[in-house]
Amino acid sequence: MTDVIRRTVTIRNKLGLHARAATKLAKLTHEFDAQVSIVQGEQHVDASSVMCLLLLASGQGREIDIVAEGKDASQAVDAIANLIESRFDEEQ
Protein backbone atom coordinates (compact mmCIF):
# COMPACT_ATOMS: atom_id res chain seq x y z
CA MET A 1 0.00 0.00 0.00
CA THR A 2 1.35 3.43 -0.90
CA ASP A 3 0.91 6.63 1.01
CA VAL A 4 -0.76 9.70 -0.40
CA ILE A 5 1.52 12.73 -0.22
CA ARG A 6 -0.04 16.21 -0.22
CA ARG A 7 1.53 19.67 -0.13
CA THR A 8 0.00 23.12 -0.46
CA VAL A 9 1.89 25.68 -2.53
CA THR A 10 1.17 29.18 -3.81
CA ILE A 11 1.42 30.09 -7.48
CA ARG A 12 4.06 32.83 -7.49
CA ASN A 13 4.81 33.61 -11.12
CA LYS A 14 3.20 36.68 -12.64
CA LEU A 15 1.23 34.85 -15.36
CA GLY A 16 0.00 32.01 -13.14
CA LEU A 17 -0.46 28.51 -14.51
CA HIS A 18 -0.41 29.52 -18.19
CA ALA A 19 0.37 27.23 -21.15
CA ARG A 20 4.17 27.14 -20.84
CA ALA A 21 4.05 26.62 -17.07
CA ALA A 22 1.35 23.95 -17.37
CA THR A 23 3.42 22.13 -20.00
CA LYS A 24 6.49 22.13 -17.74
CA LEU A 25 4.45 20.81 -14.84
CA ALA A 26 2.78 18.09 -16.92
CA LYS A 27 6.12 16.94 -18.40
CA LEU A 28 7.66 16.79 -14.94
CA THR A 29 4.94 14.43 -13.68
CA HIS A 30 5.92 11.87 -16.34
CA GLU A 31 9.36 11.50 -14.73
CA PHE A 32 7.90 9.75 -11.68
CA ASP A 33 6.13 6.49 -10.92
CA ALA A 34 3.19 8.24 -9.27
CA GLN A 35 -0.31 9.47 -10.01
CA VAL A 36 -0.22 13.24 -9.47
CA SER A 37 -3.20 15.54 -9.15
CA ILE A 38 -3.61 19.24 -8.57
CA VAL A 39 -6.43 20.39 -6.33
CA GLN A 40 -7.72 23.96 -6.27
CA GLY A 41 -10.83 24.44 -4.19
CA GLU A 42 -13.36 21.89 -5.40
CA GLN A 43 -11.49 21.22 -8.65
CA HIS A 44 -9.32 18.10 -8.82
CA VAL A 45 -7.36 17.52 -12.06
CA ASP A 46 -4.77 15.15 -13.48
CA ALA A 47 -1.41 16.96 -13.33
CA SER A 48 -0.12 15.10 -16.38
CA SER A 49 -2.70 16.82 -18.61
CA VAL A 50 -1.86 20.31 -19.85
CA MET A 51 -5.49 20.94 -20.79
CA CYS A 52 -6.74 19.97 -17.32
CA LEU A 53 -4.15 22.21 -15.69
CA LEU A 54 -5.19 25.14 -17.87
CA LEU A 55 -8.83 24.64 -16.92
CA LEU A 56 -7.90 25.45 -13.31
CA ALA A 57 -7.13 29.03 -14.38
CA SER A 58 -4.72 29.35 -11.45
CA GLY A 59 -3.47 32.90 -11.21
CA GLN A 60 -0.70 34.45 -9.18
CA GLY A 61 -1.37 34.15 -5.46
CA ARG A 62 -3.69 31.13 -5.73
CA GLU A 63 -3.06 28.20 -3.42
CA ILE A 64 -3.12 24.71 -4.89
CA ASP A 65 -2.54 21.28 -3.41
CA ILE A 66 -0.19 18.82 -5.05
CA VAL A 67 -1.41 15.29 -4.34
CA ALA A 68 0.55 12.20 -5.35
CA GLU A 69 0.21 8.48 -4.81
CA GLY A 70 2.65 5.80 -5.90
CA LYS A 71 6.21 4.60 -5.52
CA ASP A 72 7.74 8.04 -6.29
CA ALA A 73 4.98 10.15 -4.70
CA SER A 74 7.24 12.01 -2.28
CA GLN A 75 9.84 12.81 -4.96
CA ALA A 76 7.13 13.92 -7.39
CA VAL A 77 5.57 16.30 -4.86
CA ASP A 78 8.99 17.72 -3.96
CA ALA A 79 9.94 18.29 -7.61
CA ILE A 80 6.62 19.89 -8.54
CA ALA A 81 6.63 22.10 -5.45
CA ASN A 82 10.17 23.23 -6.34
CA LEU A 83 9.10 24.02 -9.90
CA ILE A 84 6.15 26.10 -8.69
CA GLU A 85 8.16 27.85 -5.97
CA SER A 86 10.85 28.74 -8.52
CA ARG A 87 8.13 30.45 -10.60
CA PHE A 88 8.45 27.80 -13.33
CA ASP A 89 11.95 29.18 -14.03
CA GLU A 90 10.44 32.34 -15.47
CA GLU A 91 11.97 35.75 -14.88
CA GLN A 92 8.99 37.09 -12.93
Enumerate the active-site residues: 18
Q: Which is it for strands 35-40 and 4-10: parallel, antiparallel or unpaired? A: unpaired
**Phi, psi dihedrals of residue 62, rounded to the nearest 5°:** -75, 140
Residue spans of beta strands (DSSP E) within the chain: 4-10, 35-40, 43-46, 63-69
